[in-house]
């Protein structure tokens, strides 16, 4: 979604649109492939100019399909992320701002258009959990028989000590 810089005025304008996720899905498939986005994301925002700054403020909503790191099952993740992005003209970047940029949702624009798609992709990725888990308490798969321990019980003894740990415990016992 591109907005002409000349359309961004002091008075806030509203915008609602669907952000496609094809590119994002392609990117995610290359990496750890923790998440997929089955449909477009709903973006609702207002935008306005504050001097040199362009402000984009709103929410990003949609759904992701996560692939649980422990039990390997797919799960649905609801996305509802507020964002507040400020864009500065590329030529006007003071050095100290460049240093602090990590802490702020600050980006730069150049040319006559602002492309919201990369900004929205960034916001979305920032809002995803670092580890995809169907539930914080997911019990994962049994390392011996492979059953999903959230759903099934098995009688495998998974407390067989790692030989290195056993050696350590042996050491402790002698003290
Ligand atoms: Zn899980
Ligand atoms: Zn088992």
Query: What percent of the chain has a predicted confidence (pLDDT) above 90?
Result: 64
Average pLDDT score, the chain: 86
Per the document, the length of the chain is: 175
CA 32 – ligand 2 centroid, Å: 26
CA 69 – ligand 2 centroid, Å: 18
Which of 13-22, 108-117, 163-172 is modeled with the greatest confidence?
A: 13-22
Q: Per-residue pLDDT for 24 more than 80?
A: yes
Token code pair at residue 103: 């802490």
Residue 110's pLDDT is what? 83
Confidence category of residue 171, pLDDT binned at 50, 70, 90:
low
Position with higher pLDDT, 161 vs 18: 18
CA 65 – ligand 1 centroid, Å: 12
Residues whose beta carbons lie less than 5 angstroms from ion ligand 1? 68, 70-71, 134, 138
Q: Per-residue pLDDT for 133 more than 80?
A: yes
CA 152 – ligand 1 centroid, Å: 13
Helix (H) or strand (E) holding 107: strand 106-109
Position with higher pLDDT, 157 vs 6: 6
pTM of the model: 0.76
CA 165 – ligand 1 centroid, Å: 27
Q: What is the mean pLDDT of residues 63-75?
A: 95
Q: Residue 133 CA: which ligand is closest?
A: 1
CA 124 – ligand 1 centroid, Å: 22
Residue 18's pLDDT is what? 97
41-77 residues labelled b (16+ CB within 10 A) or e (exposed): bebebebebeeeebbbbbebebebebbbebbeeeeeb
Q: What is the mean pLDDT of residues 157-174?
A: 65
Q: Residue 69 CA: which ligand is closest?
A: 1
48-52, 78-82, 105-109, 163-167: least confident range:
163-167
CA distance 16 to 102: 27
């Amino acid at each position: 979604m591109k907005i002409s810089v000349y359309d961004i005025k002091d008075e806030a304008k509203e915008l609602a649109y669907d952000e496609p996720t094809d590119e994002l899905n392609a990117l995610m498939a290359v990496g750890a492939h923790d998440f997929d986005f089955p449909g477009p994301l709903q973006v609702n925002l207002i935008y306005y100019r504050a001097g040199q700054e362009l402000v984009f403020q709103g929410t990003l909503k949609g759904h992701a399909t996560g692939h649980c790191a422990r039990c390997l099952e797919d799960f649905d993740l609801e996305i509802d992320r507020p964002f507040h992005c400020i864009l500065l003209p590329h030529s006007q970047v003071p050095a100290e701002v460049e240093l602090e940029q990590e802490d702020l949702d600050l980006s730069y624009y150049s040319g006559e258009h602002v492309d919201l798609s990369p900004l929205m992709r960034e916001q979305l990725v920032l809002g995803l959990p670092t580890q995809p888990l169907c539930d914080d308490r997911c019990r994962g798969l049994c390392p011996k028989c492979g059953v999903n321990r959230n759903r099934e019980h098995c009688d495998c003894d998974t407390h067989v000590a790692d030989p290195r740990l056993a050696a350590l415990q042996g050491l402790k016992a002698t003290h």
